[in-house]
């Protein structure tokens, strides 16, 4: 075997190993996105299970605003449907509506001293608030993982491997303009 053949085999081996490393890196990034989504999904499921308890606790106070409760129930259904379909755009929109509804429940509860003093309501309020904060954190992690994935599959030479093996871009969880805006306390408590 000549020197040229050895150099060719050596260069081919280096290119092959580099390609395998690129592929493995893309697989790792793809699974990081899936893991981040799974973390969100777990928290959404927990919140999905807690919200009926909150609604039922509020319903026990007969004069509590039924329209507010109905909006939360409907938004909860939209979140669940989007979650089951894996529709990230619809999930972002439904999430915004659900968070607004839950915020409205907490705001309206201020007018019901008996409800505010109810131990069950207070525990549920704390639990849901905690879940909301965790979901916000996980949304940020998901967007970061999706962004890393999207950048990696567009960079050269990863682009070649990504196209060859069908790696695709992941959608970001978009925040509505309502979620980005400052809270209008007059509307919330008015």
pTM here is 0.76
State both tokens at 13: 């081996």
* Whole-number Å distance between alpha carbons of 120 and 30: 41
Q: Give the total number of structural domains in the chain.
A: 1
Q: What is the CATH number of the domain that holds 43?
A: 1.20.1440.20
CA neighbours within 13 Å on the CB side: how many for 93?
7
* Whole-number Å distance between alpha carbons of 160 and 19: 9
pLDDT at 175: 62
| Domain around 51 | 3-189
DSSP category for residue 86: T
How many secondary structure helices (H) and strands (E) does the chain include? Answer: 8, 0
> Mind listing the pLDDT tens digit of every residue in the chain (190 residues)?
789 899 999 999 999 999 999 999 999 999 999 999 999 989 989 998 988 888 888 888 766 788 888 888 999 999 999 888 888 888 888 888 888 889 888 888 888 888 877 888 888 888 999 998 999 899 999 999 999 999 999 999 999 999 999 999 999 887 665 544 444 444 443 4
Closest Cα to residue 58, out of 127, 109, 100?
Answer: 109
Helices (H), ranges, 60-157: 66-85, 88-109, 113-117, 119-154
Under 8 Å between Cβ of 47 and 134: no
């Amino acid at each position: 075997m000549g020197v040229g053949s050895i150099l060719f085999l050596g260069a081919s081996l280096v290119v092959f190993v580099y390609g395998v490393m690129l592929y493995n890196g893309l697989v790792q990034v793809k699974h990081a996105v899936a893991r981040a989504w799974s973390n969100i999904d777990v928290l959404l499921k927990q919140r999905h299970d807690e919200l009926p308890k909150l609604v039922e606790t509020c319903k026990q106070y007969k004069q509590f605003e039924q329209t507010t409760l109905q909006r939360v129930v409907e938004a909860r259904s939209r979140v669940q449907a989007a979650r089951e379909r894996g529709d990230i755009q619809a999930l972002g929109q439904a999430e915004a509506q659900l968070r607004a509804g839950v915020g409205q429940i907490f705001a309206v509860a201020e007018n019901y001293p008996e409800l505010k003093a109810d131990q069950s309501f207070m525990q549920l309020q704390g639990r849901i608030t905690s879940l909301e904060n965790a979901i916000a954190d996980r949304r940020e992690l998901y967007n970061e993982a999706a962004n890393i994935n999207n950048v990696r599959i567009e960079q050269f030479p990863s682009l070649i491997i990504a196209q060859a093996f069908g790696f695709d871009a992941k959608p970001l969880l978009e925040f509505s303009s309502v979620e980005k805006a400052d809270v209008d306390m007059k509307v919330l408590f008015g």
